Chain A
Amino acid sequence: EADIYQTPRYLVIGTGKKITLECSQTMGHDKMYWYQQDPGMELHLIHYSYGVNSTEKGDLSSESTVSRIRTEHFPLTLESARPSHTSQYLCASSDGRRTYNEQFFGPGTRLTVL
């Protein structure tokens, strides 16, 4: 079944640790996105990719980095986690052949940095 997956779903980690949030999709989509969402708040785009080896920063500045080595995989990395990184991170993908950019979302990773 075509879907989009995120792991881990929940992560509690100490300050200074390096973390990678995984995102994979089996829909064959070329475009992928990372959003950050604080509790009760709107979603902010922090990274996006239009294909392999293509990554761009989004509207909200983020200390995280991303890579796109394979079409289906779009991991997000924080080199040194801080309490200010505590948030929910949502991954999404879309089919670039469609002009209306309907995005499909994963279940999210809720990150808590102590």
Chain B
Amino acid sequence: AQSVTQPDIHITVSEGASLELRCNYSYGATPYLFWYVQSPGQGLQLLLKYFSGDTLVQGIKGFEAEFKRSQSSFNLRKPSVHWSDAAEYFCATTGGGNKLTFGTGTQLKVEL
């Protein structure tokens, strides 16, 4: 079965600084990978997704992620963080199946 690990529970960055959130997956074949963002009291919004092809994918709100098969990773990046990016970020995978498996999430705090 597929699984997702997000090693960082909390991350704090200064506004304007770059950001990288880590995600490692476990699946034998090429997985389908997603990054979602959840603001307090809200549902999840899809930031970006990877299925195949170009390993660097662009998403909404200036986010991007890079799929690295050799490292089983799908890290989320943003060159310059805005205060409004403070939220919880979830990495998820379907592993080619129908069910989404989520990581435990990374809480991002942005210092002004």
Chain A residues proximal to chain B, CB less than 8 Å:
6, 31, 33, 40-43, 45, 48, 50, 58-59, 90, 92, 99-108, 110
Write 9 A-B pairs (CB below 8 A) sorted by A numbering.
A6-B43, A41-B105, A42-B102, A99-B96, A100-B49, A101-B98, A108-B41, A108-B42, A110-B41
Across-interface contacts of B42 in A (CB, < 8 A) = 107-108
Inter-chain CA distance A90–B43, complex, in Å, is 7
**Which residues in window 54-85 of B have CB below 8 A to A?**
none
Closest to B49 in A: A102
Across-interface contacts of A108 in B (CB, < 8 A) = 41-43
Q: Are B102 and A101 in contact (CB under 8 A)?
A: no
Across-interface contacts of B96 in A (CB, < 8 A) = 99
Q: Are B100 and A42 in contact (CB under 8 A)?
A: no
**Which residues in window 18-50 of B have CB below 8 A to A?**
32, 34, 36, 41-46, 49
Q: Are B100 and A101 in contact (CB under 8 A)?
A: yes
B32: contacting residue among A43, A101, A106, A110, CB under 8 A = A101
A105: contacting residue among B44, B97, B98, B103, CB under 8 A = B44
Q: Are A42 and B104 in contact (CB under 8 A)?
A: yes
**The 8 nearest A-B residue pairs measured at CB:** A105-B43, A105-B44, A100-B32, A107-B43, A42-B104, A101-B94, A43-B102, A42-B102
